[in-house]
């Protein structure tokens, strides 16, 4: 039995993770805001963090000190956070992802393949919808899918992405990857990647019906990660893609 520590155990994802850990027959540990992350890292075999970017540095420091691997599903990360993750990965195994769903992981693989084969004449749009309480946009999953499309084309997403269209924006840029974000209700997460060609269109989609899909994927990733050497890992590696 592996002890899995949850950062943010009382949040919505924390509750789902607790259920997924029990479902997998593993031991659950956890803290919430103000809890002792160093003690949790020392006691747990692996940590899972879906809390907030502001707490990430202290959590990574605790993981390094304890030699504890960590799965990071927190979204809204900035360049500095990724630098911190890269530094931590020199000492412990770290898996960071915008989405822990196994279905989304496979979808990103399909998006990458489609983008590579269809070419730049096909316009790519990433559409996502989440519940009214989500605070960041585009979602981490939308960015993950956009990154997969950019990798398929061998281009940089930072250079080719288009967001927040409003007013007289002019014609769509050739080879751009567009993003659109919708918010409302209690939607757990809907994502469509649209490939629009001349007189035809392909849509690759994923619908999240319950947060448990993310929790189960995170637990599977955590159980895989404890057997890895220090380094930075991704969800496709969990599935052997």
Catalytic residue ranges: 130, 134
Residue 173 DSSP one-character state: P
| Token pair recorded at residue 123 | 């316009």
d(CA 213, CA 149): 23
Report yes or no: 122 and 195 within 8 Å, Cβ to Cβ. yes
| Cis-peptide, bond into residue 164, ω within 30° of zero | no
d(CA 78, CA 58): 16
User: Which residue from 141, 238, 36, 228 is spatially nearest to 5, judged by alpha carbons?
Assistant: 36
d(CA 237, CA 234): 6
Angstrom CA distances, 71 to 94, 186, 220, stand at: 6, 25, 10
């Amino acid at each position: 039995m592996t002890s899995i520590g949850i950062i943010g155990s009382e949040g919505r994802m924390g509750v789902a993770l607790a259920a997924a850990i029990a479902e997998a027959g593993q031991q659950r540990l956890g803290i919430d805001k103000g809890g002792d992350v160093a003690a949790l890292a020392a006691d747990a075999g692996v940590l899972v963090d879906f809390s907030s970017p502001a707490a990430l540095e202290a959590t990574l420091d605790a993981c390094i000190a304890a030699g504890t691997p960590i799965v990071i599903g927190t979204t809204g990360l900035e360049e500095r956070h990724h630098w911190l993750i890269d530094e931590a990965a020199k000492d412990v195994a770290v898996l960071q992802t915008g989405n822990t769903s196994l279905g989304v992981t496979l979808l990103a693989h399909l998006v990458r393949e489609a983008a590579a084969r269809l070419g730049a004449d096909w316009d790519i749009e990433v559409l996502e919808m989440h519940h009214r309480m989500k605070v960041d946009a585009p979602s981490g999953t939308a960015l993950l899918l956009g990154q997969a499309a950019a990798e398929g084309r061998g281009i940089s997403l930072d250079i080719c992405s288009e967001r927040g269209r409003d007013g007289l924006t002019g014609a769509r840029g050739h080879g751009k990857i567009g993003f659109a974000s919708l918010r409302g209700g209690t939607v757990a997460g809907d994502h469509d990647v649209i490939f629009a060609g001349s007189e035809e269109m392909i849509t690759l989609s994923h619908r999240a019906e319950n947060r448990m899909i993310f929790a189960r994927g995170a637990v599977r990733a955590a159980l895989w990660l404890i057997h890895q050497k220090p380094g930075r890992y991704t969800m496709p590696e969990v599935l052997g893609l």
